Amino acid sequence: MAKKEEPVNMVDQFRDFKELKNIDKTTMISVLEESFRNVLAKMFGSDENFDVIMNPDKGDCEIYQNLEVVADDEVENKDMQIGLTDAREIDPECEIGEDVAKRIYFEKFGRRAILNLRQTLQSKILDLQKDAIYSKFKELEGEVIVGEVHQIWKKEMLLLDEDQNELIMPKEEQIPSDFFHKGDTVRAVVKRVDNPNNNPKVIVSRTDERFLRRLFEQEVPEIHDGLITIKSVARIPGERAKIAVESYDDRIDPVGACVGVKGSRIHGIVRELRNENIDVINYTTNPQLYIQRALSPAKISTIRLSEEEHKAEVFLHPNEVSLAIGKGGFNIRLASMLTGYSIDVYRDIDEDEEDIYLDEFRDEIDAWVIEALKNLGLGTAKAVLNAPREALIEQADLEEDTVDHVIEVLKAEFED
């Protein structure tokens, strides 16, 4: 004897879909109705004479088939017509030529039909969820988000936000000194949202310069309120950063407001960024003054600008050159990034002091070596000779033999 199938409870079938996150109620109802109508069209040839009424609060639906009332012996299409006798069982007062609404119980079509419908719904809802996630995080690009470390791999880390959405933080988007354990809470900025094959992938970052911007907005009320504007940001993540700020209110000191009393405001940002050293400077539209401030703490003698090429030649006293370049060349790199100018640093030569530009030695020193030294802001022979040998090896990434050869060539020029 065949096993009798148990009746399918429609409420149980759709309970899972009733309170889905990221999908609004109107869209959910529309998807459910569309799915039912697709199944009805396959079963009856058309869904035009059906009314599908969704009950989202109960998790079920009501389906009515609108049929034309005809004489009992004139029924030609049972999907469109109904005999008068059967019609009066639905509506005792109906007459021939009118329509009656016959209640259809979808669960009576069998378990297979129900399961097929459920699979269709799951597929459509999954697509809706993916669309909703993509839209949600696309709007959050550039904003800070908090996630909990769920899994750590060699090349990336998986975070989960409060709604259990997955966030990916690649290794290159982590500050070099970042070290997290599973369960740690992490702040990062939504860098971008990729959507390959309608499968959203949210990439978050702690190295993006927008992360530093948002941290200042959170810590400094004047920035949040629009009284102070961040004009430019330059970062070497985990090492050093420069930020240029401007106030439209003369009564507000933008640098002082960002730093806070005894550094109270900036300390929290520095800790979040793993002790990244942050310089805050006043923005100005005067490019010479802007570059001068950006190269702080070095004191500049003169600046020659090429506006068309966006290049700046900066001249300093010999003891200021190393300050302008900074440890690892960070200061001059950040100043260039902040101002948008390519900056070359030169020793300020007294009129009675002889010095020679490095370009004059291209016959004896390889061009790429000269460029490496100039990138450190060492544009003259004496600037190189006054720089520590170890600094030339480390910062210019040159071999010891190469550095010794350069020093030998330059010294020979002045020995006569």
* Residues paired with 201 in a beta bridge: 194
State the Cα–Cα distance between residues 339 and 110, nearest whole angstrom.
Answer: 71
Q: What tokens does 56 get?
A: 């989202």
Task: Verify that 118 and 185 share a domain, yes or no.
Answer: no
pLDDT surpassing 50 at residue 5: no
Cβ within 8 Å of residue 185, ≥6 positions away: 146, 147, 148, 149
State the Cα–Cα distance between residues 13 and 32, nearest whole angstrom.
Answer: 12
* 168 assigned to some structural domain: yes
Task: Verify that 76 and 107 share a domain, yes or no.
Answer: yes
* 146 assigned to some structural domain: yes
Residue 116 DSSP SS3: helix
Task: Verify that 180 and 103 share a domain, yes or no.
Answer: no
CATH code (residue 95): 3.30.1480.10
* 238 assigned to some structural domain: yes
Among 146-160, 287-301, 343-357, the range of highest mean pLDDT: 146-160
Least confident of 24-33, 148-157, 208-217: 24-33
Look up the domain containing 86 and give its range. Answer: 10-134
Task: Verify that 147 and 124 share a domain, yes or no.
Answer: no
pLDDT reported for residue 3: 43
Task: Verify that 202 and 106 share a domain, yes or no.
Answer: no
Q: Do residues 317 and 348 lie in contact, with contact meaning Cβ atoms separated by under 8 Å?
A: yes
pLDDT reported for residue 224: 92
Percentage of residues in the chain having pLDDT higher than 90: 49
Task: Verify that 28 and 123 share a domain, yes or no.
Answer: yes
Q: Render the burial of 117-155: b for 16+ CB within 10 Å, e for the rest.
A: bbebbeebbeebbbbbbbebbeeeeeebbebbbeeeeee
- What are the φ/ψ torsions at residue 164 (nearest 5 degrees)? 70, 20
Question: pLDDT tens-digit profile of 52-64?
Answer: 888 766 666 788 9
pLDDT surpassing 70 at residue 245: yes
Task: Verify that 14 and 130 share a domain, yes or no.
Answer: yes
- What are the φ/ψ torsions at residue 16 (nearest 5 degrees)? -60, -25
In this prediction, residue 242 has a pLDDT band, given cuts at 50, 70 and 90, of very high
CATH code (residue 249): 3.30.300.20
| Domains in the chain, number | 3
pLDDT reported for residue 1: 42
Least confident of 108-117, 141-150, 281-290: 108-117
* 369 assigned to some structural domain: no
Task: Verify that 129 and 144 share a domain, yes or no.
Answer: no
State the Cα–Cα distance between residues 86 and 80, nearest whole angstrom.
Answer: 13
Q: Is 241 exposed, middle or buried (0-12, 13-18, 19+ CB in 10 A)?
A: buried
Please name the residue that has the structure tokens 């297979």: 112
* 352 assigned to some structural domain: no
Distance from chain centroid for Cα 152: 19
Task: Verify that 279 and 200 share a domain, yes or no.
Answer: no
Q: Select from 80, 115, 134 the last residue of a domain.
A: 134
What beta strand segments (E) does 24-174 contain?
50-55, 60-70, 81-83, 99-104, 144-152, 156-160, 166-170
DSSP state of 252: -
Task: Verify that 14 and 125 share a domain, yes or no.
Answer: yes
* 404 assigned to some structural domain: no
DSSP state of 262: G
In this prediction, residue 81 has a pLDDT band, given cuts at 50, 70 and 90, of very high
Question: pLDDT tens-digit profile of 360-373?
Answer: 888 889 888 888 88
Helices within 186-280 (DSSP H only): 209-219, 221-224, 254-259, 264-272
DSSP state of 379: -
* 328 assigned to some structural domain: no
Task: Verify that 93 and 161 share a domain, yes or no.
Answer: no
pLDDT reported for residue 20: 57
How many Cβ atoms sit within 10 Å of the Cβ of residue 321? 25
Q: Return the percent helix, strand and coil in the chain, to nearest 5.
A: 45, 25, 30
Average pLDDT, the chain: 86
State the Cα–Cα distance between residues 69 and 373, nearest whole angstrom.
Answer: 96
* 337 assigned to some structural domain: no
Task: Verify that 168 and 236 share a domain, yes or no.
Answer: no
